[in-house]
Every structure is written in C-alpha cells, then in structure tokens.
Amino acid sequence: MRALLQPVSPGPINDQPSNETITKRNQSRRVRAVAMEVRQLRYFVTVAECEHFGRAAEALNIVQPAVSKQVARLERELGLTLFDRSRRRVRLTPDGQAFLIHARRALRGIDRAAAAAAEIAAGNTGLLRVGSSVVFSPRIEAALAAVRDAHPGITLQVTSSASTTGQLAALAANDLDAAFVAAPPDTPGVRVHHLWDEPLLLAVPAAYASTASNLTTLAELPLARPARADNPGVYDLITAACQAAGFTPGVGPTLTRVQDLLAGPVASGECWTLLPAGVVSHDFTAVALVQPDPPIRVPAALALPDAAPRASALSLLTAAQTRTGAVVASRPR
C-alpha cells in the first residue's frame, strides 16, 4: 500500500501532440483537389448501370475505347478503383458503389443548372434590369406588364431616373439590360430603337394661358428645363424650338421634380417649362397647360446593348413596339 502512495517522478508531459503528429493529422484530413469532367461522370454512371463497357458505349453513342479511357482517368484522378474488371461482367467495387451516389447527384445538379441556363437564354426566366424614364411611365408600365404576362418567370428590376446619360452609361457598363430614354445622345456600345414621339405641353403661369401657344410671348420669362449634362437631347431640342421662335430662352430653375416646379416657380409666375403630354397633370389654378404651335415632340426610345442583348430584353422591345405602334427601326449609337 505504501508503494502506491509514493510520489512519481515527473516525466515528459504528453498531453499536447507533437508537431509530427499534427502534421500527419493535417495530411490525412487534407482533401486533394480533383479535376474531373462531366463526361467522365456520365461515362462512369452509364457503365455502372449497364455493367458492361461495350453496352455503355452503345448507349452513349461513342466508341468503347473512349469510355474505358475516360473511366480509367477518373479512377486515377480520384485515387479509387471504381470497377472490378476481373469477371466477364463489370461490377462496382465498394468504393464505386459509394461514389455512384455522389456522381448521380452531381449530374442531376448539372442538368438542372443547364436547363436553368437554357431558360435564361430563351428569355423565359432570370433578372431583367430596366432603366425607366419617369416622364414616360404610362407607356413603359404597359410594356412591362406585357412582359410579365408573357414571361412570368422573369424578375423585373426597374430603376427610375431623370438622367438619360446616366441610364445610357449604366447600360454600356452592363449595369442595365435595357433603358427607356428620351432623345438619347450617341453612346458607344448602345443601340437605340425608336418607339414614338412624345408631344410636349407648355406649363405656364395662368396669365400667359391665352397667348403661350406662340413661344415668342414667353421670351421674357425664364425657362425651367433639365440639366444639359443629364438630358442633352431634350435640352437642345427645347432650345432649338425657342430659337426657331426668334429668341434664346432665359435660364430658369433646373427641372427635377415636376410637381414642386409647378406648385412653386411656375404658379408664382417666375418661369415656364415643357412637359410630356402623356403624364402631365396638376390641380394648380395658377398654372395652365398649353399646346405649342407648332408642336414640339421628343423622341422616345428603348436602348439595348449593341452586342448580344439578352433575350428577355428583346422581348421587352417587342412588347414596347407593340404597345406603342412603333415602326421596327433602330440605329447603332
């Protein structure tokens, strides 16, 4: 009993594994990168199901040596013997039986991915990113609704912006798939499809209602219009209409929020502006809407990438042309 109570001399502490042990454990846990081809998986599964290389080759419609070669490569890559070839009939080894489950699962996933890609390529599913000019919203909404009805698998992501140049830049940078724009300027890599010409109405202080159809009567009143950097086409078109009437318009507020502009500077008699006839409305008695003579129209278009637009974007173009009665015409930008 005394011997059991004697102190034990301290020896090496072995609670922590040595560096050599840790290295061996890491090596055993490390998963080797495997480079296998889809066809190798298909060949392997077919041979496993046919239990014969020749019949598998017939099912795959290729020559038998090609099947044998690719299966052998797969075995070398995996470091496994998948088939027992010692008998007349090819049999799966235990490793082969275990791998067959994963191979079938992988092929099902690949087939699903391929089918999904085909649906996206056909324009039936996927995300369609559309830039939308707020001034054309009623017509745009009709085209978007038609695409939703025809292709319910498509997810539409619509971004509204008052800047035509910003939308075209996003389209060229592949941040948009399509963009509804007004009087678009030339942009490399973008193709413009004309849809319709939107008539503009004069929004003027009520005191000018009876005479404003003649732009000359507005020569002394500043003009509110979009910033040229955002909408150079619209800016230049309006400027040209004023110059044709014999004057250069004075500089008024920058046109951003329409309702704020009408309720403030226009209603108070400080300026006038031009707005798309299809969307303009107001409840301000101090503001009049007048048709200019001669009419002023802004071209509306759908812009798409010049190279390989998505099928869903082309579906949107067809819907937009149908809803607007547009002549199918386009020009590169």
pLDDT tens readout for residues 204-227 = 999 998 998 999 999 999 999 989
- Rounded to whole angstroms, the Cα distance separating 106 from 296 reads 61
C-alpha span between 317 and 144 (Å, rounded): 10
Domain boundaries, given as residue ranges, for the chain: 38-120, 126-195+299-332, 200-295
Task: Specify the CATH number of the domain 126-195+299-332.
Answer: 3.40.190.10
Distance CA 243, CA 218 (A): 12
Whether 145 shows a pLDDT value over 70: the answer reads: yes
Confidence of residue 327 (pLDDT cuts 50, 70, 90): very low
pLDDT classification of 173: cutoffs 50, 70, 90: very high
126-195+299-332 against 200-295: fold identical = yes
| For residue 303, pLDDT beyond 90 | yes
Q: Which residue has the higher pLDDT, 276 or 124?
A: 276
Q: Rounded distance, CA 139 to CA 30, Å?
A: 60
Average pLDDT, integer, range 42-55: 93
Q: How high is the pLDDT of residue 196?
A: 92
Q: Is 203 exposed, middle or buried (0-12, 13-18, 19+ CB in 10 A)?
A: buried
Burial of 222 (0-12, 13-18, 19+ CB in 10 A): middle
Q: Are 316 and 128 spatial neighbours (Cβ–Cβ below 8 Å)?
A: yes
Closest CA to 231 of 300, 171, 141, 142: 300
Could you give phi then psi for residue 30, rounded to 5 degrees?
Answer: -65, 130
**What pTM, to 2 d.p., does this model score?**
0.67
- 3-class SS of residue 194: strand
What local confidence, expressed as pLDDT, does residue 6 receive? 40
**pLDDT for 61 beyond 50:** yes
Model pLDDT, residue 32: 56
Span 280-302, mean pLDDT?
88
pLDDT digits (tens, 9 = 90+) for 248-270: 999 988 877 788 888 889 989 99
CATH number of 200-295: 3.40.190.10
Residue 140 has pLDDT above 90, yes or no: no
Are 120 and 126 in contact by the 8 Å Cβ rule? The answer is yes
Find the range with the poorest average confidence among 17-26, 68-77, 89-98, 322-331: 17-26
Q: Token pair for residue 156?
A: 């539409």
Residue 123 is which amino acid? G
Q: Which of the two residues, 242 and 11, has the higher pLDDT score?
A: 242
From 1.10.10.10, 1.20.1250.20, 3.40.50.10320, 3.40.50.720, which CATH number describes the 38-120 domain?
Answer: 1.10.10.10
